Structure 1
């Protein structure tokens, strides 16, 4: 029996007064140079407080989620919605047998317990899509005798050119490995690869047993609040050598969004500088993607948020 899909509703529309620009809490000018100086000071404190357990360098700490795309899936709006929601249906038997495997890190190897393909599929499959009246249950298969309407916000073309509200169809499953960013750099991690009829690339579910995953260390946050005009980072979206793409958490009316980075040989701290608007503003957190370039490739260094002091993970792909 499939589990019912869950809907998450986020309250967004709250009205708040935005801070007045032009002065810092100490009464001095709040210029970009002052914000950068405040960032550097806090970043140094965050990096100094970073004290992970030995498992950070000896265990398996993944910095991205357990479901990974192995290439460009060529999403349509409906197939992307199904992937994000975890809607799957299997046309083949999913084997319950377990296999052995190891993680290959840049600095060594680690053998850990793995889950079977059947267990991985149970973790992957989060239920069925909600009903979509007037649309077929499978892509490219119009409802017999159903109406033909023009494409638009309220209609679907019965020619099958559009994908329906659907579950992704699993047609094969194999065992392999995929690259995953970890606390020890990019590793080759055992995974179950599910071939999907509607996608151009398999969906991988990491095969490491949840009990074998080392939890994130608890961050140590500086006692004082984040200086006005500075914002923290929410996650990473891409790592390319010394180039990082970071999502900052900013306000709806913030302007002058500028990435800030501080680095040393064992850690990188990221955040941002913003200019707050005056007057009233909708109190909603927005994600602003920014790019920073380090002085050297990131390697296995953790990327820490200047606000919370926590290591950042990579947003779901």
Structure 2
């Protein structure tokens, strides 16, 4: 027989399950394959309960592409994101720390596996709770323009803090990590976490969006040519953007004493995003007195993530991040 307490607990669990089921599922290729032995996440959190603000007159259509020709690997990307959301990787035993990951994709798409799910699985296996953010893209016509990805990142960070207890997290142990153009989202969040880029939605928006530490990995940073990545720059601020707009969206120009401690990784032979992006950001952090850990690898190219760093010195970067994060009180 069920007593009152059991009934209430069961009802609460059913309500939680219903809320989880009501969320937009992770991006997926219709009929696509999955890699054997690699669990696919199924828990998501929609950022905007009443829909993302500033909808374009012609809303984008979310499309997921599979780029891998290897049946044993997936290399998916999504573009046209209309329902920005977090995909959650829960560890078996949480260590109390979390990281929000913003994958790259040149602001034309958001990669799913190489800079999202792979690091999500790796970190969650080591006790971290990982939230992979699928953010909106500035070229899709959203009202927020070049601040649209930042508004999703701010909102996501606040939601993670609001739900910290549900995930066994300390709200003061939330990191941000981003790759390539997602590294620009990460650095933008680190330097403009309190910029008003959207109207508050609920109580979560009273919380801070500041990451406790940040890790922009081979990040797009400068919006000034020739250092800027041309494709990311054009989609974010426009091909003919004036110098003032370039400066406003270059995180090195927005560093303050409130910017969180930062971990930087870049390959010096990066042919896509020049290493000067990280060097200029490091110089700005040092000037402001922000602790910064910097790892430059002679070889690695661009977009190495985890899989393409294997067998090279650059494959050490995730362990270096964990060691550094512990010195900052995380992990």
The two structures share one fold, judged by TM-score above 0.5: no
Larger RCO (alpha carbons 8 Å, 6+ apart): 1
- TM-score, L = length of structure 2: 0.20
* Structure number, greater radius of gyration: 1
More strand per residue: 1 or 2? 1
